[in-house]
Structure 1
Amino acid sequence: MISIKEVTKQTGLTVRTLRHYDHIGLLLPAGKTDGGHRLYGEKELKKLQEIQFLKSLGFSLKEIAEMLANEKHDWFSGLQSQLNYIIREKEKLEQMEKMVTGLMNQFTLEGKVDMQQIQQLIHFSQQNKFMREEFLQQQFKEDKKKLFDLLPNVNSSDPDTLEWVALLAQIKKHMAKGIESVEVQRIIRRLLEKDQELFAGNEELSNAFWEVRKSQEKSEMTGLYPIEQEVLEFVEAATDYFFKKEAERMGGES
Protein backbone atom coordinates (compact mmCIF):
# COMPACT_ATOMS: atom_id res chain seq x y z
CA MET A 1 0.00 0.00 0.00
CA ILE A 2 1.07 3.58 -0.55
CA SER A 3 0.58 6.79 1.41
CA ILE A 4 -1.79 9.60 0.54
CA LYS A 5 1.15 11.80 -0.43
CA GLU A 6 2.37 9.18 -2.90
CA VAL A 7 -1.13 9.00 -4.40
CA THR A 8 -1.11 12.78 -4.92
CA LYS A 9 2.21 12.48 -6.77
CA GLN A 10 0.88 9.76 -9.06
CA THR A 11 -2.51 11.32 -9.79
CA GLY A 12 -2.02 15.06 -9.47
CA LEU A 13 -4.88 15.24 -7.00
CA THR A 14 -4.48 17.18 -3.77
CA VAL A 15 -4.52 15.74 -0.27
CA ARG A 16 -7.58 17.89 0.38
CA THR A 17 -9.44 16.25 -2.55
CA LEU A 18 -8.63 12.73 -1.34
CA ARG A 19 -9.75 13.62 2.15
CA HIS A 20 -13.00 14.97 0.70
CA TYR A 21 -13.58 11.74 -1.24
CA ASP A 22 -13.08 9.84 2.01
CA HIS A 23 -15.44 12.17 3.89
CA ILE A 24 -18.32 11.72 1.40
CA GLY A 25 -17.71 7.98 1.12
CA LEU A 26 -16.68 8.08 -2.52
CA LEU A 27 -13.21 6.61 -1.98
CA LEU A 28 -12.32 5.12 1.38
CA PRO A 29 -8.65 4.37 2.15
CA ALA A 30 -7.60 0.75 2.56
CA GLY A 31 -6.26 1.55 5.98
CA LYS A 32 -4.25 3.99 8.04
CA THR A 33 -0.80 4.14 9.56
CA ASP A 34 -0.22 4.18 13.28
CA GLY A 35 0.01 7.93 12.95
CA GLY A 36 -3.44 8.13 11.30
CA HIS A 37 -2.25 8.75 7.73
CA ARG A 38 -4.40 7.24 4.96
CA LEU A 39 -3.10 4.31 2.93
CA TYR A 40 -4.30 3.14 -0.49
CA GLY A 41 -3.98 -0.21 -2.22
CA GLU A 42 -4.33 -1.37 -5.83
CA LYS A 43 -8.11 -1.67 -5.55
CA GLU A 44 -8.45 1.94 -4.31
CA LEU A 45 -6.10 3.25 -7.00
CA LYS A 46 -8.15 1.52 -9.71
CA LYS A 47 -11.33 3.02 -8.32
CA LEU A 48 -9.66 6.42 -8.18
CA GLN A 49 -8.81 6.10 -11.89
CA GLU A 50 -12.47 5.38 -12.61
CA ILE A 51 -13.50 8.42 -10.58
CA GLN A 52 -11.06 10.67 -12.44
CA PHE A 53 -12.24 9.35 -15.80
CA LEU A 54 -15.93 9.88 -15.06
CA LYS A 55 -15.20 13.30 -13.58
CA SER A 56 -13.37 14.27 -16.78
CA LEU A 57 -16.56 13.41 -18.69
CA GLY A 58 -18.47 15.91 -16.61
CA PHE A 59 -20.29 13.63 -14.17
CA SER A 60 -20.85 15.04 -10.69
CA LEU A 61 -19.37 13.32 -7.64
CA LYS A 62 -22.86 12.27 -6.58
CA GLU A 63 -23.51 10.68 -9.98
CA ILE A 64 -20.12 8.96 -9.90
CA ALA A 65 -20.82 7.53 -6.44
CA GLU A 66 -24.15 6.12 -7.63
CA MET A 67 -22.62 4.68 -10.80
CA LEU A 68 -19.77 2.93 -9.00
CA ALA A 69 -21.95 1.67 -6.15
CA ASN A 70 -24.56 0.05 -8.41
CA GLU A 71 -23.26 -3.05 -10.19
CA LYS A 72 -26.36 -3.06 -12.43
CA HIS A 73 -25.97 0.57 -13.40
CA ASP A 74 -26.94 1.25 -17.04
CA TRP A 75 -23.55 2.52 -18.17
CA PHE A 76 -24.55 2.83 -21.83
CA SER A 77 -27.51 5.12 -21.10
CA GLY A 78 -25.43 7.18 -18.70
CA LEU A 79 -22.62 7.62 -21.19
CA GLN A 80 -25.10 8.34 -23.99
CA SER A 81 -26.67 11.07 -21.89
CA GLN A 82 -23.26 12.54 -21.18
CA LEU A 83 -22.29 12.34 -24.84
CA ASN A 84 -25.42 14.30 -25.76
CA TYR A 85 -24.47 16.91 -23.18
CA ILE A 86 -20.92 17.14 -24.55
CA ILE A 87 -22.25 17.54 -28.11
CA ARG A 88 -24.55 20.37 -26.99
CA GLU A 89 -21.66 22.09 -25.20
CA LYS A 90 -19.46 21.64 -28.27
CA GLU A 91 -22.11 23.30 -30.43
CA LYS A 92 -22.29 26.21 -27.98
CA LEU A 93 -18.50 26.61 -28.07
CA GLU A 94 -18.50 26.50 -31.88
CA GLN A 95 -21.23 29.14 -31.90
CA MET A 96 -19.22 31.29 -29.50
CA GLU A 97 -16.13 30.82 -31.67
CA LYS A 98 -18.04 32.08 -34.70
CA MET A 99 -19.37 35.06 -32.78
CA VAL A 100 -15.92 36.03 -31.51
CA THR A 101 -14.45 35.59 -35.00
CA GLY A 102 -17.27 37.74 -36.36
CA LEU A 103 -16.50 40.47 -33.83
CA MET A 104 -12.82 40.40 -34.78
CA ASN A 105 -13.66 40.60 -38.49
CA GLN A 106 -16.16 43.35 -37.79
CA PHE A 107 -13.47 45.26 -35.92
CA THR A 108 -11.30 44.94 -39.02
CA LEU A 109 -14.13 46.32 -41.15
CA GLU A 110 -15.31 49.08 -38.83
CA GLY A 111 -12.27 49.83 -36.68
CA LYS A 112 -14.48 49.47 -33.60
CA VAL A 113 -17.01 47.20 -31.94
CA ASP A 114 -20.06 48.54 -30.15
CA MET A 115 -23.07 46.92 -28.53
CA GLN A 116 -25.26 47.41 -31.59
CA GLN A 117 -22.74 45.55 -33.73
CA ILE A 118 -22.52 42.79 -31.14
CA GLN A 119 -26.30 42.40 -31.17
CA GLN A 120 -26.28 42.24 -34.97
CA LEU A 121 -23.61 39.57 -35.01
CA ILE A 122 -25.49 37.52 -32.42
CA HIS A 123 -28.57 37.79 -34.60
CA PHE A 124 -26.77 36.69 -37.77
CA SER A 125 -24.80 33.91 -36.09
CA GLN A 126 -28.05 32.49 -34.70
CA GLN A 127 -29.88 32.78 -38.02
CA ASN A 128 -32.30 29.93 -38.50
CA LYS A 129 -30.51 27.42 -40.74
CA PHE A 130 -33.72 26.07 -42.25
CA MET A 131 -34.91 29.57 -43.12
CA ARG A 132 -31.59 30.23 -44.83
CA GLU A 133 -31.77 27.00 -46.81
CA GLU A 134 -35.33 27.73 -47.91
CA PHE A 135 -34.35 31.21 -49.10
CA LEU A 136 -31.35 29.89 -51.03
CA GLN A 137 -33.55 27.33 -52.72
CA GLN A 138 -35.83 30.15 -53.84
CA GLN A 139 -33.02 32.41 -55.00
CA PHE A 140 -30.70 29.88 -56.62
CA LYS A 141 -30.84 26.63 -58.48
CA GLU A 142 -29.30 23.63 -56.69
CA ASP A 143 -25.93 23.91 -58.43
CA LYS A 144 -25.77 27.60 -57.61
CA LYS A 145 -26.79 27.00 -54.00
CA LYS A 146 -23.84 24.66 -53.48
CA LEU A 147 -21.46 27.31 -54.75
CA PHE A 148 -23.17 29.89 -52.56
CA ASP A 149 -22.11 27.91 -49.50
CA LEU A 150 -18.52 28.83 -50.40
CA LEU A 151 -19.19 32.55 -50.08
CA PRO A 152 -17.34 34.51 -47.38
CA ASN A 153 -19.07 34.73 -44.02
CA VAL A 154 -18.09 37.35 -41.45
CA ASN A 155 -18.21 34.70 -38.71
CA SER A 156 -15.62 32.51 -40.43
CA SER A 157 -11.83 32.61 -40.07
CA ASP A 158 -10.88 30.83 -43.29
CA PRO A 159 -8.21 32.62 -45.42
CA ASP A 160 -10.62 33.58 -48.22
CA THR A 161 -13.06 35.22 -45.82
CA LEU A 162 -10.26 37.06 -44.02
CA GLU A 163 -9.04 38.44 -47.34
CA TRP A 164 -12.57 39.59 -48.28
CA VAL A 165 -12.86 41.32 -44.91
CA ALA A 166 -9.45 42.97 -45.32
CA LEU A 167 -10.29 44.18 -48.84
CA LEU A 168 -13.61 45.68 -47.73
CA ALA A 169 -11.87 47.34 -44.79
CA GLN A 170 -9.34 48.86 -47.20
CA ILE A 171 -12.14 50.10 -49.44
CA LYS A 172 -13.75 51.90 -46.50
CA LYS A 173 -10.39 53.36 -45.54
CA HIS A 174 -9.79 54.86 -48.99
CA MET A 175 -13.35 55.85 -49.96
CA ALA A 176 -12.65 59.54 -49.39
CA LYS A 177 -10.04 59.44 -52.17
CA GLY A 178 -12.70 58.62 -54.75
CA ILE A 179 -13.29 55.78 -57.18
CA GLU A 180 -10.49 56.89 -59.50
CA SER A 181 -7.73 56.72 -56.89
CA VAL A 182 -4.87 54.29 -57.40
CA GLU A 183 -5.48 52.69 -54.01
CA VAL A 184 -9.18 52.05 -54.68
CA GLN A 185 -8.59 50.73 -58.18
CA ARG A 186 -5.90 48.36 -56.91
CA ILE A 187 -8.39 46.95 -54.38
CA ILE A 188 -11.10 46.67 -57.03
CA ARG A 189 -8.73 44.68 -59.22
CA ARG A 190 -8.13 42.22 -56.39
CA LEU A 191 -11.87 42.00 -55.60
CA LEU A 192 -12.52 41.09 -59.21
CA GLU A 193 -9.76 38.48 -59.07
CA LYS A 194 -11.39 37.04 -55.95
CA ASP A 195 -14.73 37.04 -57.76
CA GLN A 196 -13.15 35.14 -60.66
CA GLU A 197 -11.58 32.62 -58.28
CA LEU A 198 -14.84 32.08 -56.42
CA PHE A 199 -17.29 31.84 -59.31
CA ALA A 200 -14.88 30.41 -61.89
CA GLY A 201 -16.09 32.80 -64.56
CA ASN A 202 -19.77 32.04 -63.98
CA GLU A 203 -21.04 35.57 -64.65
CA GLU A 204 -24.67 34.62 -64.03
CA LEU A 205 -23.87 33.37 -60.52
CA SER A 206 -21.62 36.33 -59.81
CA ASN A 207 -24.37 38.77 -60.80
CA ALA A 208 -26.93 36.83 -58.74
CA PHE A 209 -24.66 37.07 -55.70
CA TRP A 210 -24.20 40.82 -56.02
CA GLU A 211 -27.93 41.31 -56.42
CA VAL A 212 -28.39 39.56 -53.08
CA ARG A 213 -25.43 41.41 -51.57
CA LYS A 214 -26.87 44.81 -52.45
CA SER A 215 -30.03 44.04 -50.48
CA GLN A 216 -29.84 44.35 -46.69
CA GLU A 217 -32.83 42.02 -46.30
CA LYS A 218 -31.56 39.35 -48.69
CA SER A 219 -28.07 39.50 -47.19
CA GLU A 220 -29.58 38.86 -43.78
CA MET A 221 -31.66 35.95 -45.09
CA THR A 222 -28.55 34.27 -46.53
CA GLY A 223 -26.50 34.77 -43.37
CA LEU A 224 -24.24 37.41 -44.92
CA TYR A 225 -23.41 40.36 -42.73
CA PRO A 226 -25.02 43.45 -44.33
CA ILE A 227 -22.56 46.03 -45.63
CA GLU A 228 -23.53 49.70 -45.61
CA GLN A 229 -25.35 50.74 -48.77
CA GLU A 230 -22.91 53.56 -49.45
CA VAL A 231 -20.00 51.11 -49.41
CA LEU A 232 -21.74 48.74 -51.82
CA GLU A 233 -22.62 51.63 -54.14
CA PHE A 234 -19.03 52.86 -53.96
CA VAL A 235 -17.69 49.41 -54.88
CA GLU A 236 -20.13 49.18 -57.79
CA ALA A 237 -19.18 52.63 -59.09
CA ALA A 238 -15.46 51.90 -58.69
CA THR A 239 -15.91 48.61 -60.52
CA ASP A 240 -17.71 50.33 -63.42
CA TYR A 241 -14.86 52.82 -63.60
CA PHE A 242 -12.33 49.96 -63.60
CA PHE A 243 -14.03 48.26 -66.56
CA LYS A 244 -14.31 51.60 -68.37
CA LYS A 245 -10.57 52.23 -68.05
CA GLU A 246 -9.80 48.66 -69.08
CA ALA A 247 -11.94 49.06 -72.19
CA GLU A 248 -10.18 52.31 -73.05
CA ARG A 249 -6.80 50.68 -72.54
CA MET A 250 -7.70 47.72 -74.73
CA GLY A 251 -9.11 50.05 -77.37
CA GLY A 252 -5.87 52.01 -77.37
CA GLU A 253 -3.82 48.88 -77.85
CA SER A 254 -5.85 47.66 -80.86
Structure 2
Amino acid sequence: MIHINKVGELTGVTVRTLRYYDEIGLLKPASKTEGGHRLYTNDEIKKLQQVQFLKKIGFPLHEIKNMLASSEWDWADNLKRQLSFVIKEQENLKKIELSLREMIHGIAIEGEENWIAIQKIMQLSSKDKEIQQYYRESVFKDREMKLWEKVPNMTSDSSDSLEWIALIGQLKRYMKDGPKAPKVQSIIRRMNEKRLEEFEGEDEFIDKLWEMRMSTNQSEKLGLYPIDQEVLEFMAEAYAIFIAEKNNPQPD
Protein backbone atom coordinates (compact mmCIF):
# COMPACT_ATOMS: atom_id res chain seq x y z
CA MET A 1 0.00 0.00 0.00
CA ILE A 2 1.18 3.50 -0.83
CA HIS A 3 0.44 6.44 1.47
CA ILE A 4 -1.43 9.41 -0.04
CA ASN A 5 1.56 11.70 0.54
CA LYS A 6 3.83 9.33 -1.38
CA VAL A 7 1.30 9.09 -4.23
CA GLY A 8 1.41 12.87 -4.43
CA GLU A 9 5.21 12.79 -4.70
CA LEU A 10 5.19 10.06 -7.36
CA THR A 11 2.50 11.55 -9.61
CA GLY A 12 2.69 15.28 -9.03
CA VAL A 13 -0.98 15.32 -7.99
CA THR A 14 -1.58 17.26 -4.79
CA VAL A 15 -2.99 15.58 -1.68
CA ARG A 16 -5.87 18.03 -1.81
CA THR A 17 -6.72 16.90 -5.37
CA LEU A 18 -6.55 13.22 -4.38
CA ARG A 19 -8.95 13.89 -1.54
CA TYR A 20 -11.30 15.66 -3.94
CA TYR A 21 -11.16 12.74 -6.39
CA ASP A 22 -12.17 10.47 -3.50
CA GLU A 23 -15.05 12.75 -2.48
CA ILE A 24 -16.56 12.79 -6.00
CA GLY A 25 -16.04 9.03 -6.46
CA LEU A 26 -13.53 9.41 -9.28
CA LEU A 27 -10.63 7.66 -7.54
CA LYS A 28 -11.28 5.80 -4.30
CA PRO A 29 -8.31 4.68 -2.16
CA ALA A 30 -7.87 0.93 -1.62
CA SER A 31 -8.05 1.46 2.14
CA LYS A 32 -7.17 3.85 4.95
CA THR A 33 -4.85 3.80 7.92
CA GLU A 34 -6.17 3.78 11.47
CA GLY A 35 -5.54 7.52 11.46
CA GLY A 36 -7.72 7.98 8.35
CA HIS A 37 -4.94 8.52 5.82
CA ARG A 38 -5.74 7.20 2.36
CA LEU A 39 -3.75 4.26 0.96
CA TYR A 40 -3.44 3.27 -2.67
CA THR A 41 -2.27 0.24 -4.65
CA ASN A 42 -0.65 0.18 -8.07
CA ASP A 43 -4.11 -0.27 -9.60
CA GLU A 44 -5.29 3.07 -8.23
CA ILE A 45 -2.08 4.75 -9.37
CA LYS A 46 -2.61 3.40 -12.91
CA LYS A 47 -6.16 4.73 -12.84
CA LEU A 48 -4.85 8.08 -11.59
CA GLN A 49 -2.47 8.22 -14.56
CA GLN A 50 -5.44 7.58 -16.85
CA VAL A 51 -7.34 10.41 -15.17
CA GLN A 52 -4.36 12.73 -15.61
CA PHE A 53 -4.05 11.86 -19.30
CA LEU A 54 -7.76 12.30 -20.06
CA LYS A 55 -7.80 15.57 -18.14
CA LYS A 56 -4.77 16.74 -20.10
CA ILE A 57 -6.56 16.22 -23.43
CA GLY A 58 -9.51 18.24 -22.22
CA PHE A 59 -12.14 15.88 -20.80
CA PRO A 60 -14.03 17.21 -17.73
CA LEU A 61 -13.85 15.17 -14.51
CA HIS A 62 -17.48 14.04 -14.54
CA GLU A 63 -17.01 12.61 -18.03
CA ILE A 64 -13.73 10.94 -17.09
CA LYS A 65 -15.55 9.25 -14.22
CA ASN A 66 -18.12 7.78 -16.63
CA MET A 67 -15.46 6.81 -19.16
CA LEU A 68 -13.45 4.80 -16.66
CA ALA A 69 -16.47 3.27 -14.93
CA SER A 70 -18.24 1.91 -18.01
CA SER A 71 -16.96 -1.08 -19.98
CA GLU A 72 -19.32 -0.11 -22.82
CA TRP A 73 -18.06 3.46 -23.17
CA ASP A 74 -17.69 4.43 -26.86
CA TRP A 75 -14.10 5.63 -26.82
CA ALA A 76 -13.83 6.26 -30.58
CA ASP A 77 -16.95 8.43 -30.71
CA ASN A 78 -16.03 10.46 -27.64
CA LEU A 79 -12.43 10.98 -28.71
CA LYS A 80 -13.64 12.26 -32.09
CA ARG A 81 -16.08 14.56 -30.32
CA GLN A 82 -13.31 15.84 -28.07
CA LEU A 83 -11.06 16.42 -31.08
CA SER A 84 -13.80 18.49 -32.74
CA PHE A 85 -14.17 20.49 -29.53
CA VAL A 86 -10.41 21.14 -29.30
CA ILE A 87 -10.24 22.24 -32.96
CA LYS A 88 -13.13 24.64 -32.37
CA GLU A 89 -11.41 26.02 -29.28
CA GLN A 90 -8.22 26.52 -31.28
CA GLU A 91 -10.18 28.49 -33.87
CA ASN A 92 -11.69 30.64 -31.14
CA LEU A 93 -8.28 31.22 -29.53
CA LYS A 94 -6.84 32.17 -32.92
CA LYS A 95 -9.57 34.79 -33.34
CA ILE A 96 -8.75 36.14 -29.88
CA GLU A 97 -5.03 36.20 -30.75
CA LEU A 98 -5.70 38.21 -33.93
CA SER A 99 -7.91 40.67 -32.05
CA LEU A 100 -5.20 41.18 -29.43
CA ARG A 101 -2.60 41.78 -32.15
CA GLU A 102 -4.89 44.33 -33.79
CA MET A 103 -5.34 46.19 -30.51
CA ILE A 104 -1.61 46.19 -29.72
CA HIS A 105 -0.77 47.39 -33.23
CA GLY A 106 -3.56 49.96 -33.14
CA ILE A 107 -2.12 51.41 -29.92
CA ALA A 108 1.30 51.52 -31.61
CA ILE A 109 -0.23 53.70 -34.33
CA GLU A 110 -2.37 55.93 -32.10
CA GLY A 111 0.30 56.45 -29.44
CA GLU A 112 -1.10 57.61 -26.10
CA GLU A 113 -4.68 57.60 -27.42
CA ASN A 114 -5.24 53.98 -26.38
CA TRP A 115 -9.01 54.18 -26.21
CA ILE A 116 -9.22 55.55 -29.76
CA ALA A 117 -7.24 52.52 -31.01
CA ILE A 118 -9.53 50.12 -29.13
CA GLN A 119 -12.64 51.83 -30.52
CA LYS A 120 -11.27 51.57 -34.06
CA ILE A 121 -10.44 47.88 -33.64
CA MET A 122 -13.92 47.24 -32.23
CA GLN A 123 -15.37 49.00 -35.26
CA LEU A 124 -13.12 47.01 -37.61
CA SER A 125 -13.90 43.65 -35.99
CA SER A 126 -17.66 44.23 -36.21
CA LYS A 127 -17.56 44.09 -40.01
CA ASP A 128 -18.34 40.91 -41.94
CA LYS A 129 -15.03 39.38 -43.10
CA GLU A 130 -16.66 37.45 -45.95
CA ILE A 131 -18.26 40.60 -47.35
CA GLN A 132 -14.89 42.37 -47.15
CA GLN A 133 -13.22 39.53 -49.02
CA TYR A 134 -15.96 39.58 -51.68
CA TYR A 135 -15.44 43.33 -52.10
CA ARG A 136 -11.68 42.92 -52.52
CA GLU A 137 -12.19 40.27 -55.18
CA SER A 138 -14.64 42.56 -56.97
CA VAL A 139 -12.23 45.52 -57.18
CA PHE A 140 -8.89 43.71 -57.61
CA LYS A 141 -7.93 41.43 -60.46
CA ASP A 142 -6.56 37.94 -59.74
CA ARG A 143 -2.99 39.19 -60.13
CA GLU A 144 -3.70 42.15 -57.86
CA MET A 145 -5.12 39.83 -55.19
CA LYS A 146 -1.68 38.20 -54.97
CA LEU A 147 -0.20 41.66 -54.43
CA TRP A 148 -2.88 42.36 -51.81
CA GLU A 149 -1.48 39.51 -49.73
CA LYS A 150 1.72 41.58 -49.35
CA VAL A 151 -0.12 44.60 -47.97
CA PRO A 152 0.75 45.14 -44.26
CA ASN A 153 -1.80 43.52 -41.97
CA MET A 154 -2.78 44.64 -38.48
CA THR A 155 -3.17 41.02 -37.37
CA SER A 156 0.26 39.95 -38.61
CA ASP A 157 3.40 39.55 -36.52
CA SER A 158 5.70 39.65 -39.57
CA SER A 159 8.65 42.05 -39.33
CA ASP A 160 7.42 43.82 -42.48
CA SER A 161 3.96 44.61 -41.05
CA LEU A 162 5.43 45.57 -37.67
CA GLU A 163 7.79 48.07 -39.30
CA TRP A 164 4.97 49.65 -41.31
CA ILE A 165 2.90 50.00 -38.15
CA ALA A 166 5.83 51.59 -36.32
CA LEU A 167 6.49 54.00 -39.20
CA ILE A 168 2.87 55.18 -39.29
CA GLY A 169 2.91 55.64 -35.52
CA GLN A 170 6.12 57.69 -35.75
CA LEU A 171 4.74 59.78 -38.60
CA LYS A 172 1.66 60.64 -36.56
CA ARG A 173 3.81 61.71 -33.60
CA TYR A 174 5.92 64.05 -35.77
CA MET A 175 3.03 65.69 -37.64
CA LYS A 176 3.36 68.78 -35.46
CA ASP A 177 6.82 69.38 -36.98
CA GLY A 178 5.40 69.75 -40.50
CA PRO A 179 5.83 67.64 -43.67
CA LYS A 180 9.28 69.10 -44.47
CA ALA A 181 10.79 68.21 -41.08
CA PRO A 182 13.91 66.00 -41.35
CA LYS A 183 12.41 63.34 -39.08
CA VAL A 184 9.24 63.22 -41.18
CA GLN A 185 11.19 63.01 -44.43
CA SER A 186 13.33 60.23 -42.96
CA ILE A 187 10.17 58.24 -42.19
CA ILE A 188 8.81 58.87 -45.70
CA ARG A 189 12.13 57.79 -47.18
CA ARG A 190 11.95 54.47 -45.33
CA MET A 191 8.32 54.01 -46.36
CA ASN A 192 9.33 54.52 -49.98
CA GLU A 193 12.16 52.00 -49.61
CA LYS A 194 9.72 49.45 -48.24
CA ARG A 195 7.26 50.16 -51.04
CA LEU A 196 9.99 49.45 -53.59
CA GLU A 197 11.08 46.30 -51.74
CA GLU A 198 7.63 44.71 -52.11
CA PHE A 199 5.92 46.56 -54.94
CA GLU A 200 8.55 47.88 -57.35
CA GLY A 201 7.08 48.06 -60.85
CA GLU A 202 3.54 47.76 -59.47
CA ASP A 203 2.67 51.47 -59.58
CA GLU A 204 -0.79 50.82 -61.01
CA PHE A 205 -1.73 48.63 -58.05
CA ILE A 206 -0.18 51.01 -55.50
CA ASP A 207 -1.97 54.03 -57.00
CA LYS A 208 -5.26 52.12 -56.98
CA LEU A 209 -4.75 50.99 -53.39
CA TRP A 210 -3.78 54.49 -52.22
CA GLU A 211 -6.84 56.03 -53.89
CA MET A 212 -9.04 53.53 -52.04
CA ARG A 213 -7.12 54.08 -48.79
CA MET A 214 -7.85 57.81 -49.04
CA SER A 215 -11.58 57.01 -49.10
CA THR A 216 -12.97 56.25 -45.64
CA ASN A 217 -15.84 54.28 -47.15
CA GLN A 218 -13.66 52.15 -49.43
CA SER A 219 -11.05 51.58 -46.71
CA GLU A 220 -13.80 50.22 -44.48
CA LYS A 221 -15.08 47.93 -47.23
CA LEU A 222 -11.56 46.59 -47.78
CA GLY A 223 -11.13 45.94 -44.05
CA LEU A 224 -8.21 48.35 -43.66
CA TYR A 225 -7.37 49.87 -40.28
CA PRO A 226 -9.09 53.29 -40.10
CA ILE A 227 -6.15 55.69 -40.16
CA ASP A 228 -7.26 59.30 -39.53
CA GLN A 229 -7.81 61.28 -42.72
CA GLU A 230 -5.52 64.06 -41.55
CA VAL A 231 -2.69 61.53 -41.11
CA LEU A 232 -3.21 60.20 -44.64
CA GLU A 233 -3.28 63.70 -46.10
CA PHE A 234 -0.12 64.60 -44.16
CA MET A 235 1.57 61.46 -45.49
CA ALA A 236 0.60 62.37 -49.06
CA GLU A 237 1.91 65.92 -48.62
CA ALA A 238 5.19 64.72 -47.10
CA TYR A 239 5.59 62.13 -49.87
CA ALA A 240 5.05 64.79 -52.57
CA ILE A 241 7.82 66.87 -50.96
CA PHE A 242 10.08 63.81 -50.80
CA ILE A 243 9.57 63.02 -54.51
CA ALA A 244 10.05 66.66 -55.53
CA GLU A 245 13.36 66.86 -53.64
CA LYS A 246 14.44 63.49 -55.00
CA ASN A 247 13.78 64.57 -58.59
CA ASN A 248 15.24 68.04 -58.10
CA PRO A 249 18.06 67.69 -55.57
CA GLN A 250 19.42 70.94 -54.17
CA PRO A 251 23.15 71.56 -54.79
CA ASP A 252 25.42 71.29 -51.76
Length-normalised TM-score, structure 2: 0.91
The answer to whether residue 34 in structure 2 is matched with residue 62 in structure 1 is: no
Q: Give 1:190's aligned residue.
A: 190
Q: Give 2:121's aligned residue.
A: 121
Decide whether the 8 Å contact of 1:106 with 1:113 is kept in 2.
no
- Mapped to 1, the partners of 2:216 and 2:2 lie a distance apart of 69
For residue 90 of structure 1, report the CA deviation from its aligned partner: 1.9
Q: Give 2:53's aligned residue.
A: 53
* 1:139-170, Cα deviation, whole Å (9 max, x unpaired): 11112112212211223222111111111111
With over 3 angstroms needed to count, the CA separation of the structure-2 counterparts of 1:127 and 1:156, relative to structure 1, is: farther
Q: Secondary structure at 1:151's aligned position in 2? A: coil
1:91 partner amino acid: E
Q: Secondary structure at 2:39's aligned position in 1? A: strand
- Mapped to 2, the partners of 1:83 and 1:177 lie a distance apart of 56
- Where has structure 1 moved over 4 Å in runs of 4 or more? 113-116
For residue 45 of structure 1, report the CA deviation from its aligned partner: 1.1
Q: Secondary structure at 2:248's aligned position in 1? A: helix
For residue 76 of structure 1, report the CA deviation from its aligned partner: 2.0
- Mapped to 1, the partners of 2:20 and 2:172 lie a distance apart of 60
For residue 35 of structure 1, report the CA deviation from its aligned partner: 3.9
* 1:179-208, Cα deviation, whole Å (9 max, x unpaired): 222111111111111111121331111112
1:99 partner amino acid: S
Decide whether the 8 Å contact of 1:98 with 1:125 is kept in 2.
no
- Mapped to 1, the partners of 2:35 and 2:241 lie a distance apart of 90
- Mapped to 2, the partners of 1:120 and 1:76 lie a distance apart of 46
Q: Give 2:90's aligned residue.
A: 90
For residue 36 of structure 1, report the CA deviation from its aligned partner: 3.5
Decide whether the 8 Å contact of 1:29 with 1:40 is kept in 2.
yes
Name the stretch that deviates more: 196-205 or 223-232: 196-205
Q: Give 1:146's aligned residue.
A: 146
- Mapped to 1, the partners of 2:115 and 2:184 lie a distance apart of 30
RMSD: 2.1
The answer to whether residue 84 in structure 2 is matched with residue 75 in structure 1 is: no
- Mapped to 2, the partners of 1:58 and 1:126 lie a distance apart of 31
For residue 115 of structure 1, report the CA deviation from its aligned partner: 4.3
1:228 partner amino acid: D
For residue 51 of structure 1, report the CA deviation from its aligned partner: 0.7
The alignment-based identity, stated in percent, is 43
- Mapped to 2, the partners of 1:230 and 1:165 lie a distance apart of 17
- Mapped to 1, the partners of 2:44 and 2:123 lie a distance apart of 51
- Mapped to 1, the partners of 2:113 and 2:95 lie a distance apart of 19
Q: Which runs of 5+ in 1 are unaligned?
A: none
- Mapped to 1, the partners of 2:155 and 2:122 lie a distance apart of 10
The answer to whether residue 214 in structure 2 is matched with residue 231 in structure 1 is: no
For residue 30 of structure 1, report the CA deviation from its aligned partner: 2.1
Decide whether the 8 Å contact of 2:109 with 2:169 is kept in 1.
yes
Decide whether the 8 Å contact of 2:108 with 2:169 is kept in 1.
yes
With over 3 angstroms needed to count, the CA separation of the structure-2 counterparts of 1:117 and 1:71, relative to structure 1, is: same
Name the stretch that deviates more: 231-240 or 16-25: 16-25
Q: Which runs of 5+ in 2 are unaligned?
A: none
Q: Secondary structure at 2:174's aligned position in 1? A: helix
Decide whether the 8 Å contact of 1:103 with 1:113 is kept in 2.
no
How do 1:212-227 residues align onto structure 2 when only pairs under 5 Å count? 212-227=212-227
How many residues get paired? Answer: 252
2:239 partner amino acid: T
Q: Give 1:160's aligned residue.
A: 160
Length-normalised TM-score, structure 1: 0.90
- Mapped to 1, the partners of 2:180 and 2:114 lie a distance apart of 32
